[in-house]
Amino acid sequence: MSTTATPHGRVVVVTGASGGVGRATARAFAAGGDRVALLARGSEGLAAAADEVRSAGGEPLVIGVDVSDAKAVDDAAQQVVDTFGPIDVWVNNAFTGVFAPFTEIGPDEFRRVTEVTYLGYVFGTRAALRHMLPHDRGTIVQVGSALAYRGIPLQSAYCGAKHAIQGFNESLRCELLHARSGVRTTMVQLPAVNTPQFEWVLNRMKGRARPVAPVYQPEVAARAIVYAASHAGRREYWVGASTAATLLANAVVPGLLDRYLARTGFSSQQDDERHDEPANLWAPADGPQGHDFGAHGRFDDEAVHDSPQQWVSRNRRRMGAALTVGAAGVLAARKLAGQARR
């Protein structure tokens, strides 16, 4: 079942809300009059995100939390319920990463990426279910990536975590369906997005980390996440033509894609220049000693503001019906033409 908004708007929780996709998503929910709990580590980013939520028409609740701490996430969920009431939507989005070949990532670093990017989703989902299941309603949106299906070089820890989220979410979805639960979970698979993450990742390469083109603005992702929250009957949504192309190619010719990425995956993820910001692996880059980075990264000049493929993903039944009607029309026209010739 879809979440039902209260007269004061839905109660929405967004993790990783201090910057990037999480920041844009919080604004998008606020524009609908929702009350938005902002969960993240970075105090400067959280404060700025709260101001944006108010300006957009929502009501913010700032909670500083490291999502790799299960108890802290449970406590945050309880704080949301105590302040706003039952949770309608929980968006898992927080992550961190290391930009380096696998052999140059230390065990503690790999573990940290896994704990934040994968277990953070597990702990967030568990906290959300603890409050949603008794009410038999609510939606959990897992913010995924094309890399949940297709691993690429230099991001082994992040790709591994996204693959793990995909499997975990599928398992949970089956269990909820088996129980005939009113709680829904869905996943939104994103393309490369113009966010501050490429300044934040721990980078061991010579060049400055960058996304593989084409790059989309975080507002494109935010619109998809907000839509998915209200249409969670679908198991997942794909955002961006590059996501669709990557997932389809990986399903058909994965070995060929391995070789292609081996040739192009290093150069396409680096700029020649090098400019290091403090990595956020162990501490937030937008903490008390840092500054607010906002939702956008440094790729505004090339980032795409819309995704026609996203419309197709939302309306695939309508498209399928149109194609069926169109095909039937073609066959009918051919049949009439044949009769006329006779």
In tens, the pLDDT along 121-150 reads: 999 999 999 999 999 999 999 999 999 999
The answer to whether residue 4 scores a pLDDT higher than 50 is no
The answer to whether residue 84 scores a pLDDT higher than 90 is yes
Cβ within 8 Å of residue 101, ≥6 positions away: 153, 154, 156, 204
The model's pLDDT over 87-120, given as tens digits with 9 standing for 90+, comes to 999 999 999 999 999 999 999 999 999 999 999 9
The model's pLDDT over 238-263, given as tens digits with 9 standing for 90+, comes to 999 999 999 999 999 999 999 999 99
Question: Which residues are catalytic, by number?
Answer: 158
Kindly indicate the confidence band of residue 292, based on its pLDDT and cuts at 50, 70 and 90. very high
By percentage, how much of the chain surpasses pLDDT 90? 83
